[in-house]
Structure 1
Amino acid sequence: MYHLVFSADENYIKYTSVLITSIISNTDKSKKFKGFDENSNIKDEKYFFHILSNFVSDKTREKLLNLQNTLNEIFPCEIIIHIKNDEDFENFPTSGAAHSLKLPYYRLRLSSIFDESIKKCLYLDSDMLCMCDIRELFSINLKDKIVGVVGDPGSKKSKIKFKENDKKKIFYFDENYFNSGLLLINLEEYKKHSIEQKCEELASKCYYIKAADQDLLNATIETRLRHKLDFAYNFNIITLFYTICKDEKKNRLNYTRTEFNEALKNPKILHYGEKPWKFLKSYFDYKGKNINDYWWDMANKTPIFNEELLKEKQDIKAYLLYASLGYELLKSVKRANFFKIHQLIKSTERDQFYIEQTSKINDDIFGLCCMLGESILHARKHKKDFFGVYLKALKMIYNFKKYHFRSRI
């Protein structure tokens, strides 16, 4: 039996259904678990998909039941809903990733939904897509490690600020900082080391925390008690924009360029930063395919929810503004046209005209343009000045040219 856990509110469940379908679709029915782990005693090959949520309507529950019944014809599975309440997480700060609701913290209390007979579970963020037989992960022997994790691709300058004995303290993260979008959890060790309690205790002292559960887990699980997984198992698609590896710069992605390139050529689980239900197009992979197309190909095959998803797809257009503004910013930076950058931030009058020019953007820079466009929209929202945007764009363009995967293979 394989236990997988997701967090999803009512609106996110349709996206979770795509991930669940991708797991079933990539399970090799001709292969038994013995083929992954010859020492395994697993006899019942069945997936249990646990969804942690704050509310699921009767209509959505019915859809999930129908999804379960349809997928069960392909491979044995069961979908189980666990309702949690934000009130149960009153000691956890409302900030950063948990600025509007406490759902990101729900995964910290996994041990409360499993009895003692369940030794291992896999947590996955709903904005992921499985590209492999997920049983590969369940075959990994964690031994005395608490969790199997994948390094986070971002900068390791984050920190937690908290008070202890009326003194302000700071917990700094290092190069071993991991992404909590995928957690292969040894439930016995998780309970043995009281991770739930440690997270809540630290959370109650925090006055600044950015990445919610991710920061808490990084602060409470010692590096020696983590099993480092291949980057392919949590292949964050932002790395297709550009990636700085540990052999190129300290405190960046904690994998070598060689290790990253291996994952790039054969990603096992995709982790979408630019959500496919918001961006129809973003980055292009090693094979030259729009990375978001993989998700929509699976959405089209997802039972019960596919009509709703494909209808939603027809209205996705906001990403065109990101790309078009970014394209204008890219041209302006190259020409050091500060007046144009100022106009991009201060005026929206020509936005529709820019959107109509989106087709001129080459695929190899489309992702770059999306990220540059985000800096314009951020500046508009927070009333930033043009020079800060210019400097940020310069750095972004420099890193893209130097560390984009096509320039590093």
Structure 2
Amino acid sequence: RRKVAEQIHIGFGIDKNFGKFAGVTITSLVHNNIQHDLNIHIVYDQLLPEDMERLKKTEQLYRNLTLHFYQITSTEGMTFVVPPGHITQAMYYRYLFADLLPKSVKRLIYMDADIICKGELLPLWQTDLQGRVLGAVRDWGEEKSCVRIGLKNGRYFNSGVLLMDLVKWRQQKLTQKLFRWLEQVGTTKILWGDQDALNGVIDGDFVELPKIYNGIVINNTTLNEELDVVLVHYIDYIKPWHIYYMDSNAKELYWEYVKKSLWSDMKPMDGKTVHTAIMTARLLHKQGKYAQSASYYEALLKYFLKDKYE
């Protein structure tokens, strides 16, 4: 007899730039959890029509995949503090699952759309939350963050993967508390947006999940090498889909799932800053593509010398 398939609920909160990346993450989830039914809840403001189309085609491809879409049309009563940099308003959408999803969904694994799953999620899904509203993995830079937002307990989690008890979330009216915290503390201390507010409100009262469920990798650092995890999370503003992401196992892993997905025509994205142009030139040089590398340096020279370079 076949073991009864678990219904696992997973949530994403995205904007139109992340439709395809969510598609790659979802592809990796399905491939590695084929024995369970994955119910994926996507909260979004806008999606590109071609991404929406491919997401729906992905759903048809896999019998264990069901997608649910929730479009946000009004952001009334929500305070979004969006720090400068690579973080967007969409990061706050993870607050809205308890309110938007049917009450029958009692727990949810939230994940960012810059994650690759390479193993089974069932043990994470079945984690005992011991009466708490959240399970999460502690963040790698936690001391600084605790000091910055004034946490007493010395524990600060990364909000890229969250196991949420939606029943408790609704009971505790956590969404209102989070937006209130953002209003009050707001721009004064915020560096990591949604993550700071979650930590500020929950203040250490979370179940600590094993690191394998949020294995942080950062471009060109030693944090890149520990890939024996279930969820690989590409934090930082340099993503594996950027042309200038350094060659590594983590990068190969990402592109392996791009190729398996309906976004297999994806091309590495170019940057728009001087910094990314230099990184691209260096990487191309390292790969032995000297002419291409030189063309980036040349473009930079032209840019800096503008009129003098005629």
Q: CA deviation at 1:18?
A: 0.7
Q: Secondary structure at the match of 1:91?
A: coil
Q: Tell me which residue corresponds to 2:98.
A: 111
1:190 aligns with 2:191: no
Q: Tell me which residue corresponds to 1:343.
A: none
Corresponding residue to 1:221 among 202, 206, 218: 202
Q: Tell me which residue corresponds to 2:60.
A: 69
1:172-187 equivalences under 5 Å are: 172=151, 175-187=154-166
Q: CA deviation at 1:323?
A: 9.5
Residue by residue, what CA displacement relative to the aligned partner does 1:16-52 show, whole Å, maximum 9, x if unpaired?
11110101101153xxxxxxxxxxxxxxx52111111
Residue by residue, what CA displacement relative to the aligned partner does 1:275-325 show, whole Å, maximum 9, x if unpaired?
1111464364xxxxx21100101110113x222x1xx23x65889975966
Structure of higher CA gyration radius = 1
1:274-313 equivalences under 5 Å are: 274-279=238-243, 281-282=245-246, 284=248, 290-303=249-262, 305-307=263-265, 309=266, 312-313=267-268
Q: CA deviation at 1:85?
A: 4.0
**CA contact 1:149–1:227 (8 Å) conserved in 2:** yes
Q: Secondary structure at the match of 1:78?
A: strand
Residue by residue, what CA displacement relative to the aligned partner does 1:193-245 show, whole Å, maximum 9, x if unpaired?
2211111111111232111110000011132x3111111110011398246xx
Aligned partners of 1:95, 1:318: CA distance in 2, in Å?
Answer: 19
Q: Secondary structure at the match of 1:157?
A: helix
Aligned partners of 2:93, 2:124: CA distance in 1, in Å?
Answer: 22
**CA contact 1:26–1:132 (8 Å) conserved in 2:** yes
Aligned partners of 1:300, 1:356: CA distance in 2, in Å?
Answer: 22
Q: CA deviation at 1:114?
A: 2.2
1:124 aligns with 2:124: no
The runs of at least 4 consecutive aligned structure 1 residues that moved more than 4 Å come to: 96-99, 315-325
1:232 aligns with 2:223: no
1:6 aligns with 2:17: no
Q: Tell me which residue corresponds to 1:50.
A: 41
In percent, how many aligned pairs have the same letter? 23
**CA contact 2:137–2:209 (8 Å) conserved in 1:** yes
Q: Tell me which residue corresponds to 1:268.
A: 230
TM-score (norm 2): 0.78
**CA contact 1:320–1:358 (8 Å) conserved in 2:** no
1:78 aligns with 2:66: yes
Q: Secondary structure at the match of 2:62?
A: helix
Aligned partners of 2:136, 2:253: CA distance in 1, in Å?
Answer: 24
Q: Tell me which residue corresponds to 1:393.
A: none
Q: Secondary structure at the match of 1:88?
A: coil
Aligned partners of 2:127, 2:171: CA distance in 1, in Å?
Answer: 20
Aligned partners of 1:194, 1:6: CA distance in 2, in Å?
Answer: 20
Larger CA deviation: 209-218 vs 233-242? 233-242
Q: Tell me which residue corresponds to 2:180.
A: 201
1:212 aligns with 2:193: yes
Aligned partners of 2:75, 2:250: CA distance in 1, in Å?
Answer: 38
Q: CA deviation at 1:79?
A: 1.2
1:268 is matched by which residue type in structure 2?
Answer: V
**CA contact 1:97–1:211 (8 Å) conserved in 2:** no
Aligned partners of 2:85, 2:68: CA distance in 1, in Å?
Answer: 25
Aligned partners of 2:273, 2:79: CA distance in 1, in Å?
Answer: 37
Q: Summarize the Cα distance change of 1:144–1:322 in structure 2 as closer, same or farther, 3 Å threshold.
A: same
TM-score (norm 1): 0.61
- Name structure 1 gaps, 5 residues minimum: 30-44, 162-169, 244-262, 285-289, 326-350, 361-376, 378-409
Q: CA deviation at 1:154?
A: 2.1
**CA contact 1:277–1:316 (8 Å) conserved in 2:** no
Corresponding residue to 1:91 among 69, 74, 79: 79
- Name structure 2 gaps, 5 residues minimum: 1-6, 289-299, 301-310
Q: Secondary structure at the match of 2:25?
A: helix
**CA contact 1:96–1:212 (8 Å) conserved in 2:** no
Q: Summarize the Cα distance change of 1:234–1:130 in structure 2 as closer, same or farther, 3 Å threshold.
A: same
Larger CA deviation: 208-217 vs 137-146? 137-146
**CA contact 2:246–2:283 (8 Å) conserved in 1:** no
